[in-house]
């Protein structure tokens, strides 16, 4: 399962501050970012795509809870699933890391985290890294 574990490697990177970021693409010609990075701009077919670090923060745009494990999934249930609108406007499909994802408010601030997920029922199956978003901690409370 090693190859499966590596599938998300091109999507997750580190920024200059050493923080995990999502790696997408950006086309100068279309002035749009996309994710994951493609060989052409997925909106205009422009070919001038360069690597692009996506913003680590955004707001919750849609959210539900998956209560039973879908096919091919070995992680915990229930888990949150939704769409976060990043600060640059890109909407990204994501796991939602929260104790009670069903009680989150649409529009609330979210930030990027990385989760490890099992690739099978035994430890030998290994894990994969996957992006998730979690409610941004209240600055005043920290």
Partner 1 sequence: MRRVAIAGVGMYPFGRHGELTATEMGATALRAALAQAGIRRGEFQATFCATAYGGVAAGHRVLSSLALTGGPIIDVEAGCASGGAALGLGAAAIESGQYDTVIVLGIEKMPKGIIRSSFFPSWMEAAGLAATPAYFALRAQRLMIEQGITSQDLADLVVKNRANGVLNPNAMFRSAVTREQVLGSTLVCDPLHLWMLCSPNEGAAAVVLQRADLAPAASVRLLATALRSHLPGSVLDESTPLAGLSADQITPPSTLAADAAYEEAGLGPTDLDVIECQDTDAARELLTWPELGLCDGGQQPQILAEGSFALGGRLPVNPSGGLLSKGEPLGASALGQVVELVHQLRGDAGPRQVESARVGLAHTIGRGANASVTILQAAEQGALGGR
Nearest alpha-carbon partner for 133 in 93, 76, 90: 93
Stretch that binds partner 1, among 13-21, 60-68, 133-141 (CB under 8 A): 60-68
Q: By CB under 8 A, tell whether 114 contacts partner 1.
A: no
CB nearer to partner 1: pick between 34 and 49: 34
Interaction between residue 90 and partner 1 (CB under 8 A): yes
Two structure tokens written together for 34: 């996309």
52 binds partner 1 (CB under 8 A): no
The secondary structure of residue 43, as a DSSP letter, is: T
CA distance 114 to 124: 21
Smaller CB separation from partner 1, 66 or 113:
66
**Does the protein bind partner 1 through residue 65 (CB under 8 A)?**
yes
63 forms part of the interface with partner 1 (CB under 8 A): yes
For partner 1, how many residues bind (rule: CB under 8 A)? 40
Of residues 92, 88, 104, 74, the one with CA closest to residue 132? 92
Task: Establish if 4 lies at the interface with partner 1 (CB under 8 A).
Answer: yes
Binding mask 6-45 for partner 1 (x = CB under 8 A): -xx---------------x-------x-xxx-----xx--
Q: Which stretch binds partner 1 (CB under 8 A): 13-21, 55-63, 134-142?
A: 55-63
């Amino acid at each position: 399962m090693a190859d499966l574990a590596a599938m998300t490697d091109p999507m997750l990177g580190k920024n200059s501050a050493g923080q995990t970021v999502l790696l997408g693409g950006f086309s100068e010609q279309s002035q749009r970012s996309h994710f994951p990075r493609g060989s052409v701009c997925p909106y205009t077919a422009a070919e001038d795509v360069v690597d692009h670090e996506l913003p680590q923060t955004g707001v919750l745009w849609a959210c539900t809870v998956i209560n039973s494990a879908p096919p091919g999934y070995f992680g915990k249930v229930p888990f949150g699933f939704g769409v976060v609108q990043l600060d640059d406007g890109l909407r990204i499909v994501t796991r939602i890391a929260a104790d009670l994802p069903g009680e989150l408010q649409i529009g609330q601030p979210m930030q990027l985290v990385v989760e490890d997920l099992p690739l099978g029922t035994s430890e030998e199956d290994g894990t994969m890294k996957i992006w998730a978003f979690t409610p941004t901690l209240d600055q005043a409370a920290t």
